[in-house]
Structure 1
Amino acid sequence: MNPPTVSARVRGRAAELERIGTLVRGRGGGMVVVCGAGGLGKTTLAAEASARARAEGRVVVWIRWRDGAAQLGQDLAQAAHILGLPESRLEDARTGRVSLVDAVWEHLATVKGWLIVVDNVDTPSRVGPGSGLPAAYRGWLRPHGGGVLLVTSRDTTRQTWGPDADLIHLQPLADDAAGTVLLDAAAHAGTETEAEALAVRLGGLPLGLNAAGTYLSVPTSRHRTFAAYQHALEAEFADLLGAEHPGAAADPDAARRVVRHTWDLSLDQLHQDCYALARPVLQLLALLEPAPVPRSLVTPGLVTDATGLPATAATVDAALAGLHQYGLLHTPGDANPGDGGPPVNQVRLHRLVRDVTAHTLTRPEPTDTWVAAIDEHLARAVDATTSMPGRTGWPTARLLAVHLRSHLDRRAQRDFTTAVGTLDDLADALNNAGAASEELLLRRHLLDAETRLLGADHPDTLATRNNLASTLNDLGEHQQAAVLHHQTLTARERILGPDHPNTLSSRNNYANVLNRLGDHRQAAGLHRQDLTDRERVLGSHHPDTLGSRNNLATALNRLGDHRQAADLHRRNLTDSERILGPDHPNTLSSRNNLANALNALGEHQQAADLHHQTLTARERILGPNHPDTLTTRNNLATAQARLAEVGRRRWWQLPRRR
């Protein structure tokens, strides 16, 4: 009943050890449950806490759960006997004069200064005596002793352990601590930076870190450095971390120590507990990217289309709840960037859980069938998201973006045009949301695919290059944007002609990026040419013509011609309000830009009023954290500061009227 020896220094668990130590050193007792997915080092943490408690003079008893109430009862009775439970009291229990469980806990309540560890209680419903969960506190696990009962388990729910248990939800190690674990095991294998990079790839999972460190410490291993091991994981994952252990099927203790098998124990338990869809839902999630997945994607329709198994909303909910209960997936929090829109539920697998599942678990159907179902439902999810009114779908669009790149790759040889349309639609939604980083992922991927399959001069490829350049400009990468816009303009003038609407758009966009680069004079010249051509080709009231007039005025303002800029902006705002409506994004931009010109002219009060009006509208339409809203808030603050500065000037500092 002695705790196992901790062979290496425990890293990154100082806060958890302090929580346990404080409880052990305290005047009262209690129950602490260290819980989380397999491989997080729960047993190691409990063993280290035990060693520290013993070093402080506490009596420590270690019990290994063997999936049976009778054995646990015997072990706890022996622990109580070690702590002074009289033999006569045990005899009373054996003859039925008193309940053994009550005799044990009545005694443990009177004794101070002990730590009893019950390790690996992964089937808490079987703890006993009798049926029910430990939360009732009538069975073998109770928080009412004079010392501390420490339980380790994969079951993470408060419902299981009750209100009086102190739950420590173990998480993967932080990057620096995880890197140190690797350096402790294989100091020769590289630098701190390289160790940390491999640790990040392994998701900070102690079991994976220990496996990698042990491998790298062996002189005859093929890969001897952190960098080489990380590179080899991509091609040899099944051999390095997904290899089977011959005794794992028959020996749960062996399975716990092997990355390939440790989560099988939880999945087997979920299946026994009638969570029939837990394993196939985990497999489906493993076929997606290693990133958060919107909960709305995991529908009964997807599960049935992929697996052929009957699924309902209730059984899918139960499967996800079971996986979450055993720490196999987590919910990173609502995908709501603070824009005031509705939150979006999401789920995510740990990187190694995903990798092991994708590489090694068998499926009842061929993988192609599963992937085809995923692609179909991804496309439906994009359609639903981009059809939502206002900014409702923006948080979901952000989550879907990372999963759409592989969707395009898989459909490159079949239905490429439809897949491109799906990515384009989502990228446009991300543009509206101001999510330029996520938009950039899709625009780059689209351009690479269209260049490869359609050719560099195809109209669709040119359109994507134009959109990518605009996204780069939004992200502040103005030089890259200028190169791409110039390439697109040159190609469109050659292929489509100088007066084609797409050519005019390219000239407008190239001028915009020149303005951002500080070349205001050339930008103004191009915008003037573009405005003239758009008035001739499209008409003076076309939305694109209004855009050119707005952009020319902005360039003139940058050149210092504030009066002409203000006159153009004022005219443009009037037309935009009439043609597009007062709340259209382009109308809001016109009002913002007019205010900027008036501020430059010294009309600070009028500028502040317009900025305030624009800010109110943008907060309502785009949300408080949209980039355009943030820009307007900054512009309003600038105008108000200028107005206050003027108010502080003395009479002799004010400009004289002439």
Structure 2
Amino acid sequence: MANSLAGGNAHALLQVGNVYGGLSIGTAPNGEPQPGLVSIKPPIGRLTSGLYGRDAVLADLTASATRADGALIVLHGAGGYGKTAIALGVTRRLWRRDPDFRVWWVDASTGPGLVAGLREVALDAGADLEEVLRAWSGGRSAPDLLNRTLEAAPGPWLLIIDNADDVRLLEAQGPFGDGTGWIRALRRSCGTIVVTTRDKSREAWGPTAVRHEIRPLHPAASAELLNAGSPAAGSSAQARDLAARLGHMPLALHLAGRYLTAAQEVPEVPGLDRPRNYVEYERVFRDRFPEIDRLHRLGAEADERRLLNRTWELSLDLLEDRGLHWARRLLRWLSCLASAAIPCFLLDARVLAETPLFRGITARDVEATVAGLVNLSLVERAEFVDPRSETATLECVWLHPVIREANRHQDDVRDDLPGYLALCLSVLDGFTSGLTFTTAAELACWAVLSPHCEHTVAWVAEEAGALRRPLAWELMASKLTCQLARFARLTGAYSRSAGQFEAAAEVRRHHLGRWHPEVVAIRRELAWLKWEQHPTLVVLDEFAALADGCRERLGEKDPLTIACLHDVAQLKTQVGLGGRDGDSYREVIRLRGQLLGRPDAESVSAQLALVTTLWENGSDTCEEEFGRLLAMVDECAAEPAAWAGGMPLEVLREHVVLLRDRYRGTRPD
């Protein structure tokens, strides 16, 4: 379609079509083209305030632009980190020094916008109009013409290509498949190219590019940015707290400050619960995140890149378009875990593939998906170092708190809440069930898993009303609570351990009753926890009462009854109340034998304690009981697969023989 403009020497508008997803410029019937369909002027008006905490990178970029040595500079980082603002900040600095400094701005968020913008750059840099028309119509290489024109353009100049997240639009082959990319480091140039992108992969930009990773702000700069935007919204301390909650992300900080300023200028309306200061805004962010973007629309509209629930969806759309179909679901699941380092050993495709959410996923899929998420800064690589042992390090990933909130509150997570919650429970329970506390590496695993276990347990309690069969969910969660309590007990955090054991016991007691074996097992662990802190007769009485209750309600041959009787025998011996003949141990051995029909680790342990008691009391039956102990060890050795003792049987036998010989050496001839 063509349009003509009235007036003398009228020009026709250019045709706009698609060539490789871009613009094809034709000519009007009278042969006179009309360029200028898009603006390449930097949108400096979008910088409404100063840039806080970015002085170093601004100074470096300004110096590079002033040198005009043909550098290709890539500013990469997650959406919301302020890459575009930094590029505009450089422009403002350059223009303050020299209002005539040539700066071109091209929006690369879409193919048509990129192609049209680069066409305008070529024209403004001095390319022949006819050559541009021919190149951008596919008659010759448009990327080659652009690069030759920029190499010859007098400098200094700065070309900023903003939002170049889809690097395929700038890849080496170029949009016309002729082997020349749109952007490359220029030789003999008098200018500089700056690209802002979410893609940090080195392969995308080549070895000659100068790469700057844009990170969240430092805490002081974050608070300064908030205070500058909304100085009447609270104290400096409250600003620091809110900035920390927002992960020091420039976009989130800017939106919060702008909203609070607008909220203070609007009269309060009955029926609306709007936050009006830092504390109230932080509460909404923490407890009612889905409402955040509606707040930000107060007094202004925002595009997708400036909406907290949408800007990272653009990155996920891009990954999906690249064939990484698991990216959105994997990021959603990671966001359902705690706001802490997530160990990579949880990303086990063999476990994930057994769940409906990730049915069919492979290890290669997981590897490629995680790499894609890392390249777009949706997750970051991290290393967990256990403070108890610096040699125990674990490879992890980490989510920015705002990205995490935005993902875990998406509708698809809420629609499949049981699926995501079940995956968190099953992965954590499956891994911790086989994890012991014997090595530094295992202790590091416990340390890195603990916050995720606690978070998942709290999530189950919070969502119990929305789940079918809440009993099953809460009982599963109580397993994680018990595991956490054991880890806390091991590390000496007795008060924390007691609280966790009591919480798990309360859940199980509520659903199963006071004398259910799973409840008794926790009560027994709580009693041991008390004994470790205060070995008193009062605690011993608690053990005895637990053993008597088990004998009455579960029966004397129940494994828990026998275990509790063994506890009582041990503790009586420790306080000197075990008796000369070790009758408490004899009862444990008798009942254990009746229960199993053969000796096991617990009965061997009780027999060893019996022998020790008899030896200490000078009993004449000690030699006989040593013989029974060796016979029990030999019987266990006949079925070594059933042995669950901590010491190998051959070592245990040698130890018993040595003890017997020492005993014999103390006896009179």
Matched, 1:117 2:191: no
> Aligned letter for 1:210?
H
For residue 175 of structure 1, report the CA deviation from its aligned partner. 2.0
Matched, 1:199 2:238: no
Find the aligned partners of 1:505 and 1:194 in 2 and give their Cα distance: 55
Find the aligned partners of 2:528 and 2:174 in 1 and give their Cα distance: 62
* Larger CA deviation: 71-80 vs 278-287: 71-80
> Aligned letter for 1:102?
D
> Aligned letter for 1:43?
T
Q: What is aligned with 1:230? A: 282
For residue 275 of structure 1, report the CA deviation from its aligned partner. 0.8
Q: What is aligned with 1:60? A: 103
> Aligned letter for 1:82?
D
Partner secondary structure for residue 259 of structure 1: coil
After TM superposition, the structure 1 = structure 2 runs for residues 367-516 of structure 1, keeping only pairs within 5 Å, are 367-386=417-436, 390-409=439-458, 410=460, 413-414=471-472, 419-425=477-483, 427-428=485-486, 434=491, 444-451=499-506, 454=509, 465=526, 489=539, 492=542, 495=545
Structure with bigger helix share is 1
Find the aligned partners of 2:607 and 2:418 in 1 and give their Cα distance: 53
Partner secondary structure for residue 339 of structure 1: coil
Q: What is aligned with 1:521? A: none
Q: 1:488 to 1:238 in 2, by over 3 A?
A: farther
Partner secondary structure for residue 23 of structure 1: helix
For residue 116 of structure 1, report the CA deviation from its aligned partner. 1.0
* Matched-pair contact (CA < 8 Å) for 1:443–1:467: no
Aligned partner (choices 196, 210, 213) of residue 257 of structure 2: 213
Q: 1:91 to 1:430 in 2, by over 3 A?
A: same
Partner secondary structure for residue 187 of structure 1: coil
Find the aligned partners of 1:287 and 1:104 in 2 and give their Cα distance: 47
Q: What is aligned with 1:273? A: 322
Partner secondary structure for residue 200 of structure 1: helix
Partner secondary structure for residue 283 of structure 2: helix
Partner secondary structure for residue 386 of structure 1: coil
Q: 1:75 to 1:334 in 2, by over 3 A?
A: same
For residue 440 of structure 1, report the CA deviation from its aligned partner. 7.3
Find the aligned partners of 1:323 and 1:464 in 2 and give their Cα distance: 43
Find the aligned partners of 1:488 and 1:223 in 2 and give their Cα distance: 53
For residue 452 of structure 1, report the CA deviation from its aligned partner. 6.2
Q: What is aligned with 1:290? A: 339
Find the aligned partners of 1:38 and 1:244 in 2 and give their Cα distance: 17
Partner secondary structure for residue 105 of structure 2: strand
Q: What is the CA deviation profile of residues 114-159 of structure 1, one whole-angstrom value per residue up to 9, with x for unaligned ones? A: 111111111110226845899x993111122432101111111111
Q: What is aligned with 2:204? A: 160
Find the aligned partners of 1:364 and 1:224 in 2 and give their Cα distance: 28
For residue 449 of structure 1, report the CA deviation from its aligned partner. 3.8
Q: 1:465 to 1:161 in 2, by over 3 A?
A: same
Q: 1:96 to 1:189 in 2, by over 3 A?
A: closer
Aligned partner (choices 201, 213, 219) of residue 169 of structure 1: 213
Q: What is the CA deviation profile of residues 414-440 of structure 1, one whole-angstrom value per residue up to 9, with x for unaligned ones? A: 2766654444345545766x5x67x97
Aligned partner (choices 388, 395, 398) of residue 345 of structure 1: 395
> Aligned letter for 2:79?
G
Find the aligned partners of 2:183 and 2:538 in 1 and give their Cα distance: 70
Aligned partner (choices 279, 302, 313) of residue 363 of structure 2: 313
Residues matched between the structures, number: 508
Find the aligned partners of 2:479 and 2:228 in 1 and give their Cα distance: 50
Find the aligned partners of 2:495 and 2:225 in 1 and give their Cα distance: 36
Partner secondary structure for residue 330 of structure 2: helix
State TM-score, norm by structure 2: 0.65
* Matched-pair contact (CA < 8 Å) for 2:353–2:362: no
5+ residue gaps, structure 1: 472-480, 508-528, 547-578, 585-658
For residue 52 of structure 1, report the CA deviation from its aligned partner. 0.9
For residue 254 of structure 1, report the CA deviation from its aligned partner. 1.2
Find the aligned partners of 2:477 and 2:134 in 1 and give their Cα distance: 75
* Matched-pair contact (CA < 8 Å) for 2:484–2:500: no
* Matched-pair contact (CA < 8 Å) for 2:53–2:218: yes
Q: What is the CA deviation profile of residues 434-459 of structure 1, one whole-angstrom value per residue up to 9, with x for unaligned ones? A: 5x67x976653333342465499975
* Matched-pair contact (CA < 8 Å) for 2:73–2:211: yes
Q: What is aligned with 1:648? A: none
* Matched-pair contact (CA < 8 Å) for 2:72–2:208: yes
CA RMSD of aligned residues (A): 4.4
* Larger CA deviation: 278-287 vs 404-413: 404-413
Q: 1:27 to 1:155 in 2, by over 3 A?
A: closer
* Matched-pair contact (CA < 8 Å) for 1:189–1:226: yes
Q: What is aligned with 1:37? A: 78
* Matched-pair contact (CA < 8 Å) for 1:335–1:343: yes
Q: What is aligned with 1:523? A: none
For residue 91 of structure 1, report the CA deviation from its aligned partner. 7.6
Q: 1:331 to 1:242 in 2, by over 3 A?
A: farther
Q: 1:284 to 1:128 in 2, by over 3 A?
A: closer
For residue 364 of structure 1, report the CA deviation from its aligned partner. 9.8
Partner secondary structure for residue 345 of structure 1: strand
Q: What is the CA deviation profile of residues 612-637 of structure 1, one whole-angstrom value per residue up to 9, with x for unaligned ones? A: xxxxxxxxxxxxxxxxxxxxxxxxxx
> Aligned letter for 2:216?
P
Q: What is aligned with 2:18? A: none
> Aligned letter for 1:142?
R
Find the aligned partners of 1:165 and 1:133 in 2 and give their Cα distance: 23
* Matched-pair contact (CA < 8 Å) for 2:108–2:114: yes
Q: What is the CA deviation profile of residues 65-124 of structure 1, one whole-angstrom value per residue up to 9, with x for unaligned ones? A: 2522x6535533533443455668758857999744333323423443211111111111
* Matched-pair contact (CA < 8 Å) for 1:290–1:351: yes
For residue 11 of structure 1, report the CA deviation from its aligned partner. 1.1
Q: 1:449 to 1:232 in 2, by over 3 A?
A: farther
Find the aligned partners of 1:333 and 1:305 in 2 and give their Cα distance: 28
* Larger CA deviation: 330-339 vs 208-217: 330-339
Find the aligned partners of 1:234 and 1:378 in 2 and give their Cα distance: 24
* Matched-pair contact (CA < 8 Å) for 2:172–2:181: yes
For residue 532 of structure 1, report the CA deviation from its aligned partner. 3.6
For residue 306 of structure 1, report the CA deviation from its aligned partner. 3.9
> Aligned letter for 2:81?
L
For residue 500 of structure 1, report the CA deviation from its aligned partner. 7.4
Q: What is the CA deviation profile of residues 357-379 of structure 1, one whole-angstrom value per residue up to 9, with x for unaligned ones? A: 11123259631133123212211
Q: Identical aligned pairs, as a percentage? A: 23
Q: 1:368 to 1:169 in 2, by over 3 A?
A: same
* Matched-pair contact (CA < 8 Å) for 2:384–2:448: no
* Matched-pair contact (CA < 8 Å) for 1:124–1:133: no
Greater Rg by CA: 2
Matched, 1:3 2:47: no
After TM superposition, the structure 1 = structure 2 runs for residues 526-565 of structure 1, keeping only pairs within 5 Å, are 530=574, 532-533=576-577
For residue 303 of structure 1, report the CA deviation from its aligned partner. 5.1
5+ residue gaps, structure 2: 1-39, 269-273, 462-469, 549-563, 586-605, 614-645, 652-669
After TM superposition, the structure 1 = structure 2 runs for residues 632-651 of structure 1, keeping only pairs within 5 Å, are none
Q: 1:236 to 1:470 in 2, by over 3 A?
A: farther
Partner secondary structure for residue 163 of structure 1: coil
* Matched-pair contact (CA < 8 Å) for 1:73–1:101: no
Aligned partner (choices 222, 230, 233) of residue 186 of structure 1: 230
Find the aligned partners of 1:97 and 1:415 in 2 and give their Cα distance: 66
* Matched-pair contact (CA < 8 Å) for 1:405–1:445: no
* Matched-pair contact (CA < 8 Å) for 2:378–2:399: yes
Partner secondary structure for residue 280 of structure 2: helix
Q: What is the CA deviation profile of residues 152-205 of structure 1, one whole-angstrom value per residue up to 9, with x for unaligned ones? A: 111111111111111112112222221222111111111111011111111112
Q: 1:199 to 1:445 in 2, by over 3 A?
A: farther
Find the aligned partners of 1:468 and 1:186 in 2 and give their Cα distance: 51
Aligned partner (choices 98, 120, 137) of residue 78 of structure 1: 120
* Matched-pair contact (CA < 8 Å) for 2:138–2:176: no
